C-alpha cells in the first residue's frame, strides 16, 4: 500500500510538470498551445487567448515539443497506444470528436479589435484593452438567466456580454456584431490540412463529430466555412441542452455516431471542458496543443496529421494532393 501511494505521488508530480496549463496570451486569432482562457468562452462573438508574436509562438512550440517527448517516454503513452491497438486493432478508435473554437477554427482577428472597430460608429469609446478586461469580467460572472449560457441562438447572453464589454446597448450594433461572427471572414482553420486529413480519417472508417459549447449559429457557420460535410455528426450544447464538461454532450455525440464512449477520442484545447469532460463520459481525450500539436519543423502545420497517426491512420504528406496516400 505504501509503495502504491509513493508511485501515485510520483506520477501525480510528473503529470503536473508535463501537463501544466500555460498562461494565456491576448492577441490575434491563432491556435493555442494547451489550455484556453476564461474557461473557454469558445463560441461566436468570443475570443481565444493566444500569442500575437510568431517568434514567441515558435519558442513555445519548441518548449512544449521537448517536454512532450520526455513525457511520452516516462508516462508510457506509447505503451498505452499499443494497448489500445491490442484491443481494437490497428485503428485504435472508431470515432474522433473535435472541439470547434480553438481546435478546428479560431477568430481571424482579436475579439476586442472587432468589438471596437464595429462599435466606433455606434459611439464605443473604450480601448481594446478596456474592452478585453470588461469582457473577461462579464464572462466570468454567473449567468443567472439560465443554467446554460448558450440557449437557442444565444442572443440574451451575448447581448449581456457585448453591452458589458463595450458600454453600448445599441441593438443595431449588437446585430451587426452578432452577424459578423457567423461569416467565414471572422474565422480561419487552425490546421490548413484539416480537410484532407478528415477525408483520410473517414476513408479509414473512423467517424467524426463536432462537440462544441455553442449556440445554434454553429451549423450555419460550418456551412459558411464550407466544412459541414467533413463531419458525420454535430453535437451543439444549445441543442443538446448540456455544456462541456457535462458528459451528456459527449455521450450524445457518441450516440449520433453509433459508437461506445470508450471507442471514441475527443480532441480539444480546454483541459476542463474537453479533457476532463470527455473522460468523465468514458471517452479517450487528447489536449490540443499538448498531447497533439504543431511541430515547428513539420510543413503545413501537420497537427491533424498527428491526430490521424495516433488513431492509426498514416498519411503521407506530399506537396501534391494527387500523390497523397492513406495507409491503414
**Sheet strands side by side (includes 95-98):** 233-236, 207-212, 95-98, 264-268, 284-287
* Residue where a domain stops, chosen among 144, 161, 186: 186
Contact between 56 and 36 (Cβ < 8 Å): no
CB 147 within 8 A of CB 157: no
- Does 221 lie in the same domain as 245? yes
325: alpha, beta or left? (left if phi > 0; alpha if psi -120 to 50) = beta
Verify that 237 and 258 share a domain, yes or no.
yes
pTM for the full predicted model: 0.72
- Whether the Cβ atoms of residue 182 and residue 217 lie closer than 8 Å to each other: yes
Q: Is the distance from CB of 280 to CB of 110 less than 8 angstroms?
A: no
Q: For the chain of 328 residues, list the mean pLDDT of each consecutive stretch of 10.
A: 42 37 35 42 43 31 35 54 78 92 94 97 97 95 79 93 97 97 95 86 93 97 97 97 97 98 94 96 90 40 60 58 36
In whole angstroms, give the CA distance from residue 77 to residue 74. Answer: 8
Task: Give φ, ψ of 250 to 5 degrees.
Answer: -70, -40
Radius of gyration of the chain from Cα atoms? 20
Q: What is the pLDDT of residue 98?
A: 95
Q: 313 lies in which domain range?
A: 56-106+190-327
Query: Do 201 and 180 touch, CB atoms closer than 8 A?
Result: no
- Buried b / exposed e across 200-233, counting CB within 10 Å, b at 16+? bbbebebbbbbbbbbbbbbeebbebbebeebbbb
Q: Say if residue 89 is in the same domain as residue 128.
A: no
Task: Give the CA-trace dihedral at 218, 211, 78, 314, to 10 degrees.
Answer: -50
Show the cell assigned to 134: 470588461
In this prediction, residue 317 carries a pLDDT of 53
Instruction: Give the DSSP letter of residue 31.
Output: -
What does the pLDDT read at residue 66?
A: 34
Are the CB atoms for 121 and 136 separated by under 8 Å? no
Question: Per the domain annotation, does 12 fall within a domain?
Answer: no
Report if residue 11 sits inside a domain: no
Question: How many angstroms separate the Cα of 209 from the Cα of each of 205, 231, 270?
Answer: 13, 5, 17
List Cβ neighbours of 4 (8 Å cut-off, separation of 6 or more).
none
Domain assignment of residue 200, yes or no: yes
Q: Are residues 167 and 220 in the same domain?
A: no
pLDDT confidence of residue 293:
57
Shared domain for 285 and 150, answered yes or no, is no
Task: Say yes or no: 136 and 269 in one domain.
Answer: no
Q: At which of 145, 167, 186 does a domain end? A: 186
**Which among 157, 186, 215 is the end of a domain?**
186
Give the pLDDT of residue 315: 66
**Total tally of structural domains belonging to the chain:** 2
Pair 94, 215 in one domain: yes
Give 9's Cβ-side CA count (13 Å radius). 6
Q: Is residue 238 part of a domain?
A: yes
Residue 117 domain flag: yes
Amino acid at each position: 500500500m505504501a509503495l502504491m501511494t509513493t508511485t501515485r505521488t510520483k506520477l501525480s508530480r510528473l503529470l503536473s510538470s508535463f501537463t501544466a496549463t500555460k498562461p494565456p496570451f491576448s492577441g490575434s486569432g491563432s491556435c493555442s498551445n494547451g489550455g484556453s482562457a476564461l474557461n473557454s468562452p469558445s463560441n461566436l462573438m468570443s475570443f481565444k487567448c493566444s500569442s500575437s508574436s510568431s517568434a514567441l509562438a515558435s519558442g513555445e512550440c519548441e518548449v512544449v515539443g521537448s517536454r512532450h517527448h520526455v513525457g511520452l517516454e516516462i508516462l508510457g503513452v506509447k505503451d498505452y497506444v499499443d494497448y489500445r491497438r491490442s484491443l481494437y486493432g490497428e485503428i485504435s478508435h472508431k470515432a474522433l470528436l473535435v472541439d470547434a473554437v480553438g481546435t478546428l477554427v479560431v477568430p481571424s482577428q482579436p475579439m476586442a479589435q472587432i468589438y471596437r472597430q464595429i462599435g466606433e460608429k455606434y459611439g464605443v469609446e473604450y480601448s481594446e484593452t478596456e474592452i478585453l478586461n470588461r469582457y473577461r469580467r462579464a464572462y466570468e460572472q454567473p449567468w443567472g438567466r439560465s443554467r446554460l449560457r448558450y440557449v437557442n441562438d444565444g442572443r440574451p447572453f451575448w447581448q449581456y456580454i457585448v453591452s458589458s464589454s463595450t458600454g453600448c446597448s445599441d441593438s443595431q450594433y449588437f446585430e451587426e456584431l452578432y452577424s459578423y461572427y457567423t461569416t467565414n471572414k471572422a474565422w480561419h482553420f487552425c490546421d490548413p490540412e484539416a480537410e484532407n486529413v478528415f477525408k483520410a480519417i473517414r476513408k479509414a472508417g473512423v467517424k467524426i463529430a463536432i462537440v462544441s459549447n455553442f449556440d445554434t449559429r454553429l451549423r450555419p457557420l460550418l456551412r459558411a466555412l464550407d466544412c459541414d460535410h467533413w463531419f458525420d455528426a454535430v453535437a451543439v450544447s444549445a441543442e443538446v441542452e448540456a455544456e462541456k464538461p457535462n458528459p451528456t454532450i459527449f455521450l450524445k455525440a457518441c450516440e449520433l455516431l453509433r459508437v461506445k464512449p470508450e471507442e471514441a477520442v475527443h480532441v480539444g484545447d480546454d483541459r476542463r471542458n474537453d479533457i476532463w469532460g470527455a473522460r468523465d463520459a468514458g471517452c479517450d481525450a487528447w489536449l490540443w496543443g499538448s498531447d497533439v500539436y504543431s511541430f515547428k519543423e513539420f510543413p503545413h502545420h501537420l497537427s491533424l496529421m498527428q491526430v490521424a497517426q495516433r488513431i492509426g491512420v498514416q498519411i503521407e504528406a506530399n506537396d501534391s494532393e494527387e500523390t497523397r496516400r492513406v495507409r491503414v
